[in-house]
């Protein structure tokens, strides 16, 4: 079941990310999609905060670096597949090695994962509704995905 | 002969930190004998003329050919090489390891020293291949992946004084190009279209421009262009396209100049180096020159071939470290996360 959060500001987007980040542990996988300017990197800032990454560390876009790694309660692996052509590039990069590892993976432009998307994950789709409004849809897959979506929404009330 | 600060040395340098596979031969940390970048050349017909980007395996496919080409162009045989510099980070572990493993294997086989250098350090020192720039200086490193301001007190002595809090400037250029329906990566195209546009036509924000830090933010500017495009769908054509490109470029330049000015005024250091791919942008070069002129600061921007990713730039720190201060062992490993402040130097910053 898809759950929706409507955000009216950058702060609300970060705050939603922070609530989810606080629930995450090693091995959790977040797939993030949404057009340019949808607020994906802002949401990632919130996740980092919830994971206990040092607030003085800027969470910057991994578009060019492809992967940024931050120490937190558990390592935070922030991927961006915007520049990749398809899952063949992904295999070449060896990113799958991180997917079931010691940290939390957040993948922007996750639709490019294709068949390499882990079965157990939480898919977050962000859309830009004009000016500062964003809609965040959470679609779980697998038991841990369901658990996270459930916890997030009970927390949201 | 003894007055040179660097020992006479024929150095091979190897760069594979992200997209580019590159190799170069530089003499005495100064004379570029060759500088080969995989994506910019068609390495022999037998390679099909196209070198794919990004992935580690592609670096592995390209690296031997790029090194061979660098040696051939330089007219130097492999046994004549006296030292190797290789990018140790920051970057993707797999990509970095291709360069590092190759460098270590060559160094072991030739019985010569190897030094691991920082990719960003190499960018901000690249200008020394062309000009004598005295320390200290302020460096603005601005590319697709970085927008950072540093105080540079010497080789290995850096202090971060500001950085982007979200997107890098080069990334903002490419993403705005995409929003305008231009082919990706479109940063250079925006520059060309801006030449015939009115930079005051569209009012765009200058994020963080008047705060009291040397930090940058470009994500909000990208979103402002997105909102403008949604409200004005015809913007992607004709004069309107030129105007939005000029307005966007002007906003980016204003922020870059304003923060660089703040760094100069705060530190009292009146020499400025602009490095990285975005230093090729004509608006950035023009506005930085105007700022330097007005403030009486000295401005140094490398040639475009030394601004974008290349291996020749590694020779400046590489030569310095190999002169005895920091020769690496064969346990040299990749440092995917490696801020400049973390570089150890005998003297400290």
- B43-77 per-position pLDDT tens digit: 433 443 333 445 567 788 889 999 999 999 999 99
The contacts of residue B181 (CB under 8 Å, 6+ apart) are B236
What mean pLDDT do residues B232-245 have? 91
pLDDT score, position B56: 67
Please give the helix or strand (H or E) that residue A77 lies within, else none: strand A76-80
Higher pLDDT: A41 or B200? It is: B200
Quick one: pLDDT at residue B55?
57
Please answer yes or no on whether A61 and B171 come within 8 Å at the CB atom: yes
Output phi, psi for B49, to 5 deg: 80, -10
Whole-model pTM? 0.90
Which of A65, A83, A93 is nearest residue B94 as measured by Cβ atoms? A93
B43 close to B61: Cβ distance less than 8 angstroms: no
Query: Is-contact B310 B24, C-beta < 8 A?
Result: yes
Kindly identify which residue of chain B lies nearest to residue A89, measuring between CA atoms.
Answer: B55
Give CA separation, A52 vs A55, A76, A147, B18, B35, in Å. Answer: 8, 10, 21, 28, 43
Give the separation between CA A130 and CA A126, rounded to whole angstroms: 12
| Chain A: closest CA distance from residue B17 (Å) | 9
Taking contacts as CB-CB distances below 8 angstroms, the residues of chain B near A128 are 226
A62: nearest CA partner in chain B: B145
> What is the band of B41 on the pLDDT scale with cuts at 50, 70, 90?
low
Q: CB distance from A97 to chain B under 8 Å?
A: no
Distance, CA of A41 to CA of B87 (rounded, Å): 28
pLDDT for B43: 42
What is the 8-class DSSP label of residue A113? G
Instruction: Establish if A116 touches chain B: CB-CB under 8 angstroms.
Output: no
Cβ–Cβ gap A61/B168 under 8 Å? yes
With pLDDT > 90 as the criterion, what percentage of chain B qualifies? 78
Read off the DSSP letter of residue A103: S
Chain A: nearest CA to B91, how far in angstroms?
7
Positions of E strands within chain B: 10-15, 22-27, 31-37, 83-89, 114-118, 137-142, 147-154, 157-163, 271-275, 298-300
- Mean pLDDT for chain B overall: 90
pLDDT at B347: 42
Band of the pLDDT at A37, cuts 50, 70, 90? confident
At residue A135, does pLDDT exceed 70?
Answer: yes
CATH code, A138: 3.40.50.300
- Report the residue of chain A nearest B18, measured CA to CA: A65
ipTM of predicted assembly, 2 dp: 0.86
Nearest to A89 among B55, B165, B215 (CB): B55
Q: Taking CA atoms, what residue in A is nearest to B95?
A: A93
The number of folded domains in chain A is 1
Q: Which residue of A42, A60, A89 is in closest CB contact with B164?
A: A60
Q: Does B277 touch chain A (CB under 8 A)?
A: no
Q: How far apart are CA B342 and CA B21, in angstroms?
A: 25
Per-residue pLDDT band at B270 (split at 50, 70, 90): very high
- Residues in CB range of B270: below 8 A, 6 or more apart: B264, B295, B296, B297, B298
Q: Do B227 and A63 touch (CB under 8 A)?
A: no
Range among A85-99, B9-23, B325-339 with highest mean pLDDT value: B9-23
Q: Considering only residues B262 and A87, tell me which one the structure prediction assigns the higher pLDDT.
A: B262
Query: Can you give the pLDDT at residue A157?
Result: 55
Q: How close B342 gets to chain A, by Cα (Å)?
A: 14
Note whether B90 contacts A: Cβ–Cβ < 8 A. yes
Which one, of B292, B295, B268, B254, lies nearest residue B137 by Cα? B268
pLDDT at B2 over 50: no
- Find the domain containing A81 and state its range: 3-155
Interface test with A, best of B145, B170, B204 (most A CBs within 10 A): B145
pLDDT of residue B325: 63
pLDDT in tens, B79-122: 999 999 999 999 988 889 999 999 999 999 999 999 999 999 99
Lowest mean pLDDT segment, chosen from A5-14, B59-68, B314-323: B59-68
Is it the case that residue B3 has pLDDT exceeding 60?
no
Q: Which residues of B314-337 are buried (b: 16+ CB within 10 A; e: fewer)?
A: bbbbbbbbbbeebbbeeebebbbe
Subunit contact B164:A94, Cβ cutoff 8 A: no
Q: How many Cβ pairs closer than 8 A exist between chain A and B?
A: 77
In this predicted structure, what is the pLDDT of residue B52? 40
Is residue B229 pLDDT above 50, yes or no?
A: yes
pLDDT digits (tens, 9 = 90+) for B126-164: 999 999 999 999 999 999 999 999 999 999 999 999 999
Residues of B within 8 A of A66 (CB-CB) are 18, 54, 92
Counting residues of chain B whose pLDDT is more than 70, the rounded percentage is 90
CA distance A139 to B5: 61
């Amino acid at each position: 079941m898809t759950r929706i959060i409507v955000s009216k500001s950058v702060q609300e987007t970060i705050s939603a990310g922070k609530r989810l980040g606080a629930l995450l542990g090693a091995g959790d996988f977040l797939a993030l999609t949404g057009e340019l300017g949808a607020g994906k990197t802002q949401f990632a800032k919130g996740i980092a905060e919830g994971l206990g990454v040092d607030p003085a560390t800027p969470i910057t876009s991994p578009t060019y670096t492809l992967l940024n790694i931050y120490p937190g309660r558990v390592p935070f692996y922030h991927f961006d597949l915007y520049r990749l052509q398809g899952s063949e590039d992904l295999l070449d990069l060896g990113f799958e090695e991180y997917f079931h590892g010691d940290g939390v993976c957040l993948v922007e432009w996750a639709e490019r994962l294709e068949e390499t998307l882990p079965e157990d994950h939480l898919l977050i789709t962000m859309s830009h509704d004009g000016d500062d409004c964003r809609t965040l849809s959470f679609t779980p897959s697998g038991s841990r995905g369901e658990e996270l979506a459930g916890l997030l929404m009970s927390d949201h009330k | 002969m003894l007055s040179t600060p660097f020992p006479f040395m024929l150095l091979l340098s190897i760069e594979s930190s992200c997209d580019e596979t590159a190799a170069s031969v530089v003499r005495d940390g100064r004379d570029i004998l060759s500088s080969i970048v995989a994506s910019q050349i068609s390495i022999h017909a037998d390679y099909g003329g196209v070198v794919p980007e990004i992935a580690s395996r592609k670096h592995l496919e390209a690296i031997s050919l790029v090194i061979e080409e660098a040696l051939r162009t330089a007219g130097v045989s492999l046994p004549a090489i006296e030292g190797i510099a290789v990018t140790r980070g920051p970057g993707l572990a797999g990509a970095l390891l291709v360069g590092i493993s190759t460098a270590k294997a060559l160094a072991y086989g030739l019985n010569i020293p190897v030094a691991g250098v920082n990719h960003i350090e190499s960018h901000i020192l690249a200008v020394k291949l062309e000009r004598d720039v005295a320390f200290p200086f302020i460096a603005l490193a601005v590319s697709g992946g970085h927008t950072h301001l540093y105080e540079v007190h010497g080789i290995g002595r850096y202090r971060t004084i500001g950085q982007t809090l979200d997107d890098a400037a080069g990334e903002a250029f490419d993403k705005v190009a995409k929003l305008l329906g231009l082919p990706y990566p479109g940063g250079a195209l925006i520059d060309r279209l801006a030449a015939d546009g009115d930079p005051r036509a569209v009012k765009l924000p200058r994020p963080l421009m008047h705060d009291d830090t040397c930090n940058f933010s470009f994500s909000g500017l990208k979103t402002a262009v997105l909102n403008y495009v949604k409200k004005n769908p015809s913007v992607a054509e004709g004069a309107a396209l030129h105007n939005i490109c000029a307005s966007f470029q002007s906003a980016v330049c204003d922020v870059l100049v304003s923060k660089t000015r703040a760094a100069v005024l705060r530190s009292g250091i009146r020499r400025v180096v602009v490095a990285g791919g975005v230093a090729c942008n004509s608006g950035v070069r023009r506005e930085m020159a105007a700022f330097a002129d007005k403030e009486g600061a000295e401005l140094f921007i490398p040639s475009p071939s030394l601004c974008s990713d290349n291996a020749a730039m590694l020779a400046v720190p590489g030569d310095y470290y190999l002169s005895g201060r920091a020769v690496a062992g064969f346990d040299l490993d990749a440092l995917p996360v490696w801020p400049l402040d973390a570089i150890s130097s005998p003297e400290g910053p």
